[in-house]
Structure 1
Amino acid sequence: MGLVRIVAGLFKVSESAVQQEIDQMKSIDTDKAVLTDLKVYLKNINAGLYGRGDVPLGCIPQRLQKSGQQRTQGFFLLHLHYHTERLSDIYGNLFNVVLPSLYHVMDALLFMDELDNLLTTSLIASIFVCSQANTSSHARQRACTIPSPQRSSVDGVLPRRNRFPAEFVAMLQKREEMGTTESKEYQAGATTLMKYYSRMLYRLLKRT
């Protein structure tokens, strides 16, 4: 299963551990709704992975898209665990962050001119950096904090170390709030940001 491999790679655990966590959910009556949502995410994301960069339009129901985005935005800060020794932590990341984020980023790759997924792409960047961090809690926390490198860019130059300048993302978000998204500076910056995270997602998928 493609998504199981992705999650196992992200959190550096065996595929069997992730699959076991998913299978165990079948025996928990109180989590039937959660399991149903999880299966929907698995089905849609895995269907998209067959194309490796060409996600079928049929796998993008608008209702799931809206539901996933709300879940990602609302649960990210509360449910992103920096320690993933326990399977319950892995499942928490899997459902609350990884699945919706991967789903939305792959969705965004189809529509590069629709730039309303800046928050989601920031989440996948944070997850990616967390997966590359050292095992110490200090290193993880430092790596998972998006304020990073020293240089920002609106000219298409990608930042180093898989980290995008927080002030650059903030600039784009501020322009969105001001309603000035038609400016050439915004369009160029947003395109750079999308290409940056698209490349990160490609590398992530290539590792699985």
Structure 2
Amino acid sequence: MRDPMISMIGSRAVLFQAPCPFDLASQQRFWAIADRAAHWPGVREAVPGMTNVTLLLDHVPTDTDALLADLTALWSSGIRKEVEGQLLTIDIAYDGPHLAEVAEMTDMTINQLVALHSAPDYTVYAVGSHAGYCYLGGLDPRLETPRRKVPLPRLPGGSLSLAGLQTGVSASAGPSGWNTIGSTSVSFFDPARDPAALLGPGDRIRFNPVKVAP
């Protein structure tokens, strides 16, 4: 198993990564590291990502080895941050362009796929990719699918998609290599709203099927 590592992002940001399972307990460790590191001298902001933390710095770091050692010490301590987040129920029309294809790939009927996908409460592991987008944990492994060989050049905001062991709703229009199975009218990001992002790490989402394609 590889050791924790940091990578430079430009000249004043570092990405800390550590080998770990893709699960809630691991994400809680990254949430805790971000909370602690946010108060270190010279750190402007600490942002938890999917199995990583990004530190935005005031200045170009002069001793990345020491920074790695401090972050590794936090990781090795096993500290975790538990979040009692809000639960948001979202009405979903399961009528996406790849719904039947995903059902075929997973050897299910469309109704079985919808029932399995909408059964759990999903936890927001991180917010990123684009403004307001929620990386969710909790997808049933039976719904694991590969990314599309040819990405869609433009997916509408509110599109519900899945790929690998992840699922999520696009917060804005843009390209996507995931399999789109539904849609919602809920807005996950609004710059006129405070906060602009609808959800944060530790919040939960429940998908409520209101329409299922025949």
More strand by share: 2
Tell me which structure has the larger Cα radius of gyration. 2
The normalised TM-score by structure 2 is 0.22
